[in-house]
Amino acid sequence: MKATAKYANKKILVLGLARSGVAAAKLLHQLGAFVTVNDTKKLDENPEAQELLASGMTVITGSHPIDLLDEGFSLIVKNPGIPYTNPILEKAMERKIPIITEVEIAYDVSEANIVGITGTNGKTTTTTMIAELLNSQRKVGEAKLAGNIGFPTSDVVLTATSNDTLVTELSSFQLMGIENFEPKIAVITNLFEAHLDYHGSREEYVKAKWAIQKNMTSEDYLVLNGNQEEVRQLAKITKARVLFFSTTTIEKEGAYLLNSNLYFKEEKIMNADELGVPGSHNVENALAAISVAKLMGISNEAIRSTLMRFSGVPHRTEYIGEFSNRKIYNDSKATNILATERALSGFENEKLILIAGGLDRGNGFDELLPSIANLKGLVAIGETADKLVATAEKANVKHVKKASNMDEAVNCAWKISEEKDVILLSPACASWDQYKNFEIRGEAFIKAVKQIVSREDK
């Protein structure tokens, strides 16, 4: 970790805990800042806050009191999930107190170069692919996963050296809070409409994503999705060197799909069918990852063998296994319609039973009609179950069922299925109606599958 006096003896407010807030508070404390932590969860229910209090920080819990700003903070480090419309942040902006996210602090002290990955869909898969590719031939140092993938960057930088690379997944929320952050290579997987409840408009959402490149120079590389005209137009206004990846056009200076083969700068890397994860969206993810790997000197042979072995990431079209000649996939992280459409593109509808549903945000599911047409089965769960049943009936899904919980849903799907079929959990909805997060929902799915398999084996 690089030494810096930037935060020493400064009064800094860390607003909101969770993993990234705890990591930021600890790092700032180590850098000599006078840290105050403020979290809405009460102290007696907040072990993270208790730990920080015991280490000598000021801790205020239970609410975000606006008069806390009278303490004279020179900086606020906010949890990415707290919107700028929060009253304490609105007042802070009035007072012109700088507001950043923890990736900015991590960048200031990182000895390692950073590869940053953002986008609407495919971030986690692409980030993980890149890390595995960069480690495939590495003799010195390590490509370390960081950021929105579950490893706060402020934690990872503590042990990262100049021999390492931080492969960092970045959300739009995090990118709104950067000032000097500059990845040496950045990837934007794609741009679609998302998180409008937070950003207010598509324009503001795209602006937040595009911030990943705002400090990049002609010494840096920006890897972009050439399938999207909007992205091609944005590429005209960056100082970074742009490489496109595309499944629809030949990118002679980038990565592309041609005759079912993946290429980089006219060199064939591998056949698309050799990828360890299914779906056209994963072809795009692989092309983005290949672009980064080639920029960093990874051989074609190492790329091919690594991507052939790559089996996905937990809860993102994760291959659980084959049981009683049925293949099972967990895509619990598909919390929107687009993500589910992409997952469905990797399978034959006539042999697929889909489990979907969750939090009702008021939208319908007619966008799914082309993707679920003639599915073998759909089992609907959660608050949106009735809407999904109606959509499935319009799409001529052969078997349509409704289930009250995951155990019942998996049992229904299993009864519908036959040998050589696929059962896929891809909800197209957030999990919060029944589960705290998509990970817990995915684990419930896996547990229910294992219970059936155990019963079948008896």
Q: Is the dihedral of CA 71, 76, 78, 83 positive or negative?
A: positive
Amino acid identity, residue 32?
G
- Closest alpha carbon to 25 in 45, 44, 46: 46
377 assigned ligand-binding residue: no
What is the Cα–Cα distance from 426 to 423, expressed in whole angstroms? 10
Whether the Cβ atoms of residue 168 and residue 103 lie closer than 8 Å to each other: yes
Q: Is 335 annotated as a binding residue?
A: no
Q: Is 125 annotated as a binding residue?
A: yes
Structure tokens at 328: 């099972």
Cα 25 to the center of its chain, rounded Å: 23
Q: Which two tokens stand for residue 270?
A: 């591998």
Q: Does the annotation place 123 within a ligand binding site?
A: yes
Q: Residue 89 corresponds to which tokens in the numbers above?
A: 């942040």
Annotated binding site for ATP: 119-125
Known binding residues are 119-125
